[in-house]
Amino acid sequence: MTHRDDPITPGDAPRGASQDAIEALSREDRTFPPPPGFADQANVRDPDVYERAAADPEGYWAKAARSLDWYRPWDTVLSWDPPNARWFDGGQLNVSVNCLDRHVASGHGDKVAYYWEGEPGDRTRITYAELLAEVCRCANALRGLGVGRGDKVAVYMPMILEMPIAMLACTRIGAVHTVVFGGFSAESLRDRINDAGAKLVVTADGGYRRGKPSALKVNVDDAIADGQAPSVERVLVARRTGQDVTMVEGRDIWWDEVVPRQAPECEPERMESEDPLYLLYTSGTTAKPKGIVHTTAGYLLGAAHTHRTVFDIKDDDVYWCAADIGWVTGHSYILYGPLANRTTGVMYEGTPDFPAPDRWWDIVERYRVSVLYTAPTAIRAHMKWGPQHAAGHDLSSLRLLGSVGEPINPEAWVWYHHHIGGDRCPVVDTWWQTETGAIMIAPLPGLTTTKPGSASRPLPGIEADIVDGDGNPVPPGSGGYLVVKGPWPAMLRGIHGDPERFQKTYWDRFPGTYFPGDGARRDEDGDYWLMGRVDDVMNISGHRLSTTEIESALVSHQSVAEAAVVGTPDDLTGEAIAAFVILKLGTEPSVAFGDELRQHVAAKIGPIAKPKTLLFTPDLPKTRSGKIMRRLLRDIAAGRSLGDTTTLADADVVETIRDASRAGRDEE
């Protein structure tokens, strides 16, 4: 198997939805000015904010940072030696104190922090005072289990309250959490635990998904069995489903046996601004995921500030980000941003269509949700199920809608605006990444006239641009590479343990400038239209997956000789995974064997990485230098509507691939 490393070669065309489709959509001419009643009340109303921030970005961020609670103020706002940034050096603060203690101290202890709803229908709520007490108990328990400042803690949990509690407890004692999405396999979990060097794992017996308990503890056991994750000393297990699990003596301990008996106060660590806050692994273009490093002050500021400005958060809002905390969206916009802003949030454990497709609208109605944040994939699923499910509920509490994770197609935007937002709620399409920590490109809802499908423009304090292959800004009406020219507080500080890859992946393509890996187009008004990845990273339902990671999983099967994976446009999931597989001699291609390979990928990475289509071929098209010609494979996969099944390559496909292989063309 051949693949290229992270850097992007010039000439790569942005993709995702097809180029034509994107160009067609960025000719979209419907515009939506902020509704007057909304604009009058908005948190950000002064249109000069962009200019003022551009004239003095450090001053802009320093002013925003004064809204956090500091033990000691910073000495320097920024030291910038690309790619290394230090924000608010000399400052000291604690994240859990900013998210909890200061709200309780100012008399808001009884405010609800989360309305929590389990998939089976069980419900609870937790106030800021109660959450603080639980976090302190958990922090004391973690200290008792030998976790201290700088130690790494892996969190592999369902969407239950113990998850944010464990994460906040880490921040209280200066431990660094690394959350692994509960849908990842034991093997993925093990790789992340080992890369991070986690000392403790927090998990649960299971969680509910589509009516069934998931197997979390079993995966933890698999991940660390037989000394395969030697850094792990203890496993803390929350009880959710009550299913049978194995508890290893001396290693595993039940949450409810250790946490509740701790004291509800816990002295917080005074953290330095640049102390690491968490690691979060994300897919790059090689088989090995990258541990993105976020630090304390800048990250918290970025999450809180954007949450307040982009979602226009007010004290009486009920805010629901319908993501999983296992992804960065949940970190920044279920946990840190909302809690720092003393927001009342909703947390829901399960899937949107359980037990029925109106589950979300029932939640919005019952809690009077005013701000909803979700992904285009979810919106498209609701479109497919039909507007009658939303229409059956009172959604009049909603006042703002957000979108994240992938380009939103105008039809989905307009449907969301109309059927969910009742034509009265601004829609904010927010572009950002695990690496950026917080929203970078989005409307300011009280100021921006939005266009369905455009994320509008970089936020104040963010210096982004769209450039050609030589790094020159593209003129209005053209496409190119998205870049971020200056540092920003919530930016990643590195890739855990791999400074070279950090440099190479993000900073070498346009020296000294951050390159996120996305293509974008600028329209005549200067608005940005995101066009998807320009590298070998796919975006499936708003989740990042690496083509090479899935190829590695496929070739790890004893019967697979070679494999190539590409993303193809998909109406529901944005992109879908298509795999081309060459079998070793002696194995016959069959539909059943295709299913076995899909299962193999699920076991290696997680069910989200299962190829939707799998094609057995005798050859793979390669360039003279041995690179797989992915663009050709994408065209084949996209042009043939392969359906959901394993397919044997037909004569035409084989011929196309053979011709290309013989010619050994370089990809233009």
Residues lying near ligand WTA in the complex (CB under 6 A): 282, 327-329, 404-407, 429-434, 455, 516-518, 530, 532-533, 539, 544
Amino acid at 59: G
- The smaller minimum CB distance to ligand WTA, of residues 203 and 329, is found at 329
- The smaller minimum CB distance to ligand WTA, of residues 419 and 543, is found at 543
Burial letters for 522-551: b for 16+ Cβ neighbours within 10 Å, e otherwise? bbeeebbbbbbbbbbbbbbbbbbbbbbbbb
**Minimum CB–partner distance for residue 18 and ligand WTA (Å):** 15
**Minimum CB–partner distance for residue 468 and ligand WTA (Å):** 19
**Minimum CB–partner distance for residue 392 and ligand WTA (Å):** 29
Amino acid at 9: T
φ, ψ dihedrals at 113, nearest 5°: -85, -50
Nearest to 423 by CA among 446, 395, 453: 395
φ, ψ dihedrals at 36, nearest 5°: -55, -45
Using the Cα atoms of residue 192, residue 198, residue 202 and residue 204 in order, give the sign of their dihedral. Answer: positive
- The smaller minimum CB distance to ligand WTA, of residues 371 and 657, is found at 371
**Minimum CB–partner distance for residue 112 and ligand WTA (Å):** 26
φ, ψ dihedrals at 452, nearest 5°: -60, 120
**Minimum CB–partner distance for residue 537 and ligand WTA (Å):** 7
User: For 95, left (φ over 0), alpha (ψ -120 to 50), or beta?
Assistant: alpha
With tokens 């500080």, the residue in question is: 493
**Minimum CB–partner distance for residue 212 and ligand WTA (Å):** 26
- The smaller minimum CB distance to ligand WTA, of residues 440 and 649, is found at 440
Nearest to 439 by CA among 321, 522, 324, 351: 321
- The smaller minimum CB distance to ligand WTA, of residues 22 and 78, is found at 22
**Minimum CB–partner distance for residue 377 and ligand WTA (Å):** 11
Burial tier of 508 (Cβ tally within 10 Å: 0-12, 13-18, 19+): middle
Helix (H, G, I), strand (E, B) or coil at 562: strand
Q: Are strands 427-430 and 400-404 parallel, antiparallel or unpaired?
A: parallel
Q: Quick check: 348 and 324 in contact, CB under 8 A?
A: no
For residue 40, the tally of other CB atoms under 10 A from its CB is: 10
- The smaller minimum CB distance to ligand WTA, of residues 275 and 429, is found at 429
| Rounded Cα distance, 182 and 180, in Å | 6
- The smaller minimum CB distance to ligand WTA, of residues 434 and 647, is found at 434
- The smaller minimum CB distance to ligand WTA, of residues 229 and 455, is found at 455
Angle of helix 296-310 versus helix 57-65 axis, rounded to 10: 90
**Minimum CB–partner distance for residue 368 and ligand WTA (Å):** 26
With tokens 């803690």, the residue in question is: 153
| Rounded Cα distance, 158 and 181, in Å | 8
- The smaller minimum CB distance to ligand WTA, of residues 327 and 580, is found at 327
User: What token pair was written down for 361?
Assistant: 């609208």
**Minimum CB–partner distance for residue 411 and ligand WTA (Å):** 15
**Minimum CB–partner distance for residue 334 and ligand WTA (Å):** 12
| Long-range pairs of 53-58 with CB within 8 A, sequence gap ≥ 24 | 53/460, 53/461, 54/460, 54/463, 57/461, 57/463, 57/486, 57/488
| Rounded Cα distance, 19 and 529, in Å | 12
- The smaller minimum CB distance to ligand WTA, of residues 196 and 328, is found at 328
- The smaller minimum CB distance to ligand WTA, of residues 174 and 458, is found at 458
**Minimum CB–partner distance for residue 291 and ligand WTA (Å):** 13
| Rounded Cα distance, 171 and 370, in Å | 29
